[in-house]
């Protein structure tokens, strides 16, 4: 008992240290905090959040609570909550329902728990809360003024709901803001995916054959960082334009069936399902490492490996497991094929999440101030520009400005 109490104390102090670390490195959130503490733009709002609960996310939750919201949070992946951060955050006026290592039933239960506050606003990552609000928790949807979505996967789902005429309130596609996907999806995913893989495996990427499935912004980032680490990169794609882009960026492009034969690492980033299937897993060489950087654990057929393996081998950390098939070759899977950068790492670097979360906070503030009809909305251009400018100021970078003649020139059709 005493031991458990001590452990909880250690956990809390580790979580507090992580929170302090990110506070010092999130200048945009710090600017918003000063204003939110004075203005309380969220007073009267109840906010349900489903977002990977690591330190940067905790800083966002605290900020929104500082702005007057009642906040209840859970994590948006069964492996992405950090228990020490959850413990520290629950001391700071936020209701926390999160723990690392949930099974699917418990994960679902906690998504429902955060909805029990009967939200007026939601903040979603991958559409977890929204999907429940349009199915099993429909009765709460009428009280929601709107929400914001973090990911490409979530925005894709919202678009499908809107197309079917079933989107019950306004949702803002934070993912699609320039200051989000150009940086978070590309540089964030690029760095944090390799951080997760390297932490789990501690093996060399230089000189390795890396297969990256998908060449959206996340895939571009993962491939670019792999090239930077000295890997030979092969990209697989289903879109001809993106495949051309991958070629011109210096990657080789080929179908998965050909790519996997010599791969040392296979990283999926597609957001689609069944990308690495039995027919590919059969061909892989001994020691290959498989990781998924897409939102859901549906890209690599880990269930097939589980069923076919003649031996299941523990890896050097609990985040990597080996499956030896009857051919004697072992395929190593990082983080059960779940979002590798959060399940085996700490998520994107702090400066990047500062920008993403500033977009989130400002988008929610807009919804708190003015109700919008149901629909999928882009982030306001002014918000994107504020984040871009504030980030430049934070890093001490100045830029030029157009003079009158230049503005006139750019706005006229008669360019003689
Ligand atoms: N940290 C919190 N949310 C995250 C996300 N969606 N991607 C990467 N890191 C994160």
Which residues of the chain are in CATH 3.40.50.1480 domains? 2-176+349-394
Ligand 1, atom 9: nearest CA belongs to which residue?
A: 347
| DSSP 8-state symbol, 339 | B
Q: Give the phi and the psi of residue 284 in degrees, each rounded to 5.
A: -75, 155
CB count, 10 Å around CB of 248? 8
DSSP helix/strand/coil, 282: coil
Q: Answer yes or no: is the C-beta of 295 below 6 A from any ligand 1 atom.
A: no
Residue pair 379/359 in contact (Cβ under 8 Å)? The answer is: yes
Q: Answer yes or no: is the C-beta of 52 below 6 A from any ligand 1 atom.
A: yes
Tell how far the Cα of 42 is from the centroid of ligand 1, in angstroms: 23
Q: Answer yes or no: is the C-beta of 193 below 6 A from any ligand 1 atom.
A: no
pLDDT at 1: 40
Question: Which ligand 1 atom lies nearest to the CA of residue 188?
Answer: 8
End-to-end Cα, the chain, rounded Å: 82
Ligand 1, atom 1: nearest CA belongs to which residue?
A: 347
The residue whose CB lies within 8 Å of the most ligand 1 atoms, and thus the one to mutate among 151, 184, 196, 218, is 184
CB count, 10 Å around CB of 30? 15
Which residues, other chains included, contact 120 with Cβ-Cβ below 8 Å and sequence gap of 6+? 44, 45, 46, 47, 143, 144, 145
Tell how far the Cα of 221 is from the centroid of ligand 1, in angstroms: 15
Q: What is the DSSP string of 343-404?
A: HSS--S-HHHHHHHHHHHHHHHHHHHHS---SEEEEPPHHHHHHHHHHHHHHTT-------H
Residue pair 186/356 in contact (Cβ under 8 Å)? The answer is: no
Q: Answer yes or no: is the C-beta of 347 below 6 A from any ligand 1 atom.
A: yes
Q: What gap in Å lies between CA 311 and CA 332, rounded to an integer?
A: 12
pLDDT tens track, the chain, 416 positions? 445 566 678 888 999 999 999 999 999 999 999 999 999 999 999 999 999 999 999 999 999 999 999 999 999 999 999 999 999 999 999 999 999 999 999 999 999 999 999 999 999 999 999 999 999 999 999 999 999 999 999 999 999 999 999 999 999 999 999 999 999 999 999 999 999 999 999 999 999 999 999 999 999 999 999 999 999 999 999 999 999 999 999 999 999 999 999 999 999 999 999 999 999 999 999 999 999 999 999 999 999 999 999 999 999 999 999 999 999 999 999 999 999 999 999 999 999 999 999 999 999 999 999 999 999 999 999 999 999 999 999 999 999 999 999 999 999 998 66
- Closest by CA position to 80, among listed 52, 56, 61, 105: 52
User: Tokens standing for 82?
Assistant: 């950090």
CATH 3.40.50.11030 fits 187-343, yes or no: no
Q: Give the phi and the psi of residue 55 in degrees, each rounded to 5.
A: -60, -40
Adjacent-strand bridge partners of 377: 172
User: How, if at all, do strands 95-96 and 330-334 pair?
Assistant: unpaired
Q: What gap in Å lies between CA 162 and CA 136, rounded to an integer?
A: 18
Q: Give the phi and the psi of residue 238 in degrees, each rounded to 5.
A: -115, -5
CATH class of 2-176+349-394: alpha beta
Q: Give the phi and the psi of residue 95 in degrees, each rounded to 5.
A: -80, 120
- Closest by CA position to 128, among listed 77, 88, 86: 77
Tell how far the Cα of 2 is from the centroid of ligand 1, in angstroms: 34
pTM of the model: 0.95
Q: Answer yes or no: is the C-beta of 293 below 6 A from any ligand 1 atom.
A: no
> Buried (b) or exposed (e) across 50-88, using 16+ Cβ within 10 A?
bbbbbbbbbbbbbbbbbbbbbbbbbbbbbbbbbbbbbbb
The residue whose CB lies within 8 Å of the most ligand 1 atoms, and thus the one to mutate among 19, 22, 56, 59, is 56
**Residue matched to tokens 């906070």:** 361
Tell how far the Cα of 30 is from the centroid of ligand 1, in angstroms: 19
Tell how far the Cα of 348 is from the centroid of ligand 1, in angstroms: 6
Which residues of the chain are in CATH 3.40.50.720 domains? 187-343
Adjacent-strand bridge partners of 205: none
pLDDT at 9: 80
């Amino acid at each position: 008992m005493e031991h458990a109490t001590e452990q909880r104390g250690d956990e809390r102090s580790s979580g507090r240290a992580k929170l302090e670390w990110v506070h010092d490195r999130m200048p945009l959130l710090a600017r918003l905090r000063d204003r939110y503490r004075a203005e309380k733009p969220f007073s009267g709002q109840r906010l349900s959040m489903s977002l990977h609960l690591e330190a940067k996310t905790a800083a966002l939750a605290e900020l929104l609570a500082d702005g007057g919201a009642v906040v209840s949070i859970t994590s948006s992946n069964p492996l992405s909550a950090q228990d020490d951060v959850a413990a520290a955050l629950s001391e700071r006026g936020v209701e926390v329902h999160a723990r690392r290592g949930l099974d699917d039933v418990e994960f679902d239960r906690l998504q429902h728990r955060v909805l029990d506050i009967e939200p007026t606003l939601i903040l979603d990552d991958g559409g977890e809360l929204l999907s429940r609000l349009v199915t099993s928790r429909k009765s709460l949807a009428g009280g929601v003024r709107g929400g914001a979505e973090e990911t490409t996967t979530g925005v894709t789902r919202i678009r499908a709901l809107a197309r079917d005429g079933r989107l019950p309130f306004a949702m803002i596609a934070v993912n699609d803001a320039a200051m989000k996907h150009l940086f978070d999806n590309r540089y964030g995913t690029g760095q944090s995916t390799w951080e997760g893989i390297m932490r789990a495996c501690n093996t060399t990427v230089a000189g390795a054959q890396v297969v990256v499935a998908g060449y959206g912004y996340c895939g571009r980032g993962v491939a670019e960082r792999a090239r930077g680490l000295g890997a030979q990169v092969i990209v697989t794609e289903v879109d001809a334009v993106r495949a051309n882009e991958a070629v011109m960026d210096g990657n080789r492009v080929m179908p998965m069936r050909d790519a996997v034969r010599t791969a040392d690492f296979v990283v999926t980033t597609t957001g689609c399902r069944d990308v690495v299937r039995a027919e590919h897993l059969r061909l892989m060489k001994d020691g290959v490492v498989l990781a998924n950087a897409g939102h859901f654990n549906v890209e690599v057929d880990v269930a097939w490996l589980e069923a076919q393996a003649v031996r299941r081998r523990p890896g050097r950390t609990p985040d990597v497991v080996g499956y030896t098939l009857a051919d004697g070759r072992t395929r190593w899977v990082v983080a059960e094929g779940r979002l590798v950068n959060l399940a085996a790492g700490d998520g994107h670097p702090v400066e990047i999440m500062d920008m993403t979360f500033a977009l989130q906070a400002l988008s929610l503030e807009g919804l708190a101030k003015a109700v919008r009809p149901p629909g999928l909305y882009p982030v306001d251009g002014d918000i994107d520009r504020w984040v871009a400018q504030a980030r430049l100021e934070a890093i001490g970078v100045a830029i030029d400005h157009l003079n009158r003649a230049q503005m006139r020139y750019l706005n006229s059709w008669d360019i003689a």
